[in-house]
Amino acid sequence: MSRYLIGRVGQALLVLWGAYSITYFILYLLPGDTLAIMLSAAGMEVDSLSPEDLARAQAYYGLDKGIFEQYFSLLWNAVQGDFGQSLSLNRPVNQLLVERLPQTLSLAGLAIVLSMIGGIGLAYLTAYVRWQPLKVALARLPSLGFSVPVFWMGLLLIQVFAFSLGWFPATGSRGFDSLILPAVTLAIPSAAVYAQVLQRGFQGVWQEPYIATAYAKGLSRWQVQARHGFKNAALPILTLIGLQVGNTVSGAVLVETIFARNGVGRLAQEAVLRQDIPVVLAIVAVSAAAFVLVNLVVDLLYPYLDPRIAHTPKVS
């Protein structure tokens, strides 16, 4: 078991390093000069600076170093938990993350809960219903859920529930009410994936011999589905939870922009536009860490939920 844990932790560290490194070199290769973009945002031009002032500004932000020298310097500081200074906001990156992270965590957390409730509930209802027209209609809802663009769904929810009905605010980050519409927008694609996978899982489970045995013992359809069908059909959901964490983080960039929320996603979008490399790298590192941590927990839980995995015979 310890050998397995060491291997999984090693893979997690490799993923973190890969995500950090690839992001750095992609940002470095983007067209445009970082210092020029920073000065333009402040209402200044590079040509307005003297060569001496320009050299001092580049040295202050570490932009006078080579690509690999900057990379290893940023990487070494990141390993120690220091993501440096924001180039565009001139503030410590860690401070920006502390301010913005709670907003994104609350959004992502609520979205994950809503997606699981909605997806599992829809799949459960689809498996239980016997009237064929309704069953077919429910089975087709997941395809609609993840085929509709997230930005379009967000705008539709704003139009209906904010402007027409006035139930929730259209934008902002204050109060629980402002969290509902963005969380629902972010939850719909994940809920659709959960529902589709679980629907297929239920279809396979109903053909298993132990289902017939459960019916023979006098259990009702509801009891069979709850006690025997759901546990086995839901195993793939565990893997999907790990994958959907990454989708939730990436989706937060778009959703927070649509709903004007001051979270990490919106900070990432602003940092990319300004080529604020330290901020983008910090967000990528935090997002990748959350992704690998959730997937590591999922891998460790699998043997406990399915004993067949833990007792798989080794091939000699």
Rounded to 5 degrees, φ, ψ at 90 are 55, 40
| DSSP designation for 315 | P
Tokens linked to 271:
């940092």
Domain locations in the chain? 98-268+301-307
Mean pLDDT per segment of 10 residues, for the chain of length 316 residues?
A: 70 84 81 64 61 69 74 85 79 87 85 85 77 80 78 86 85 80 87 80 64 64 61 67 70 80 82 81 84 75 56 46
Q: Is CATH 1.10.357.10 what the domain over 98-268+301-307 is classified as, yes or no?
A: no
Report H helices in the chain: 2-29, 34-41, 51-60, 67-79, 93-128, 132-147, 150-157, 177-205, 209-216, 221-224, 230-233, 235-258, 264-273, 277-305, 307-310
Residue 66 is predicted with a pLDDT of 74
Residue 43 is predicted with a pLDDT of 60
pTM for this entry: 0.71
**At a CB cut-off of 8 Å and minimum separation 6, what does 284 contact?**
19, 20, 23
Residue 313 is predicted with a pLDDT of 47
Altogether, the residues listed in the chain come to a count of 316
Q: Which residue has the tokens 């139009």?
A: 159
In angstroms, how far is CA 124 from the centroid of its own chain?
A: 25
Computed over its alpha carbons, how large is the radius of gyration of the chain? 24
The C-alpha atoms of residue 96 and residue 74 are separated, in whole angstroms, by 17
Residue 314 is predicted with a pLDDT of 46
The C-alpha atoms of residue 291 and residue 295 are separated, in whole angstroms, by 6
Residue 315 is predicted with a pLDDT of 43
The C-alpha atoms of residue 293 and residue 3 are separated, in whole angstroms, by 17
The C-alpha atoms of residue 122 and residue 133 are separated, in whole angstroms, by 15
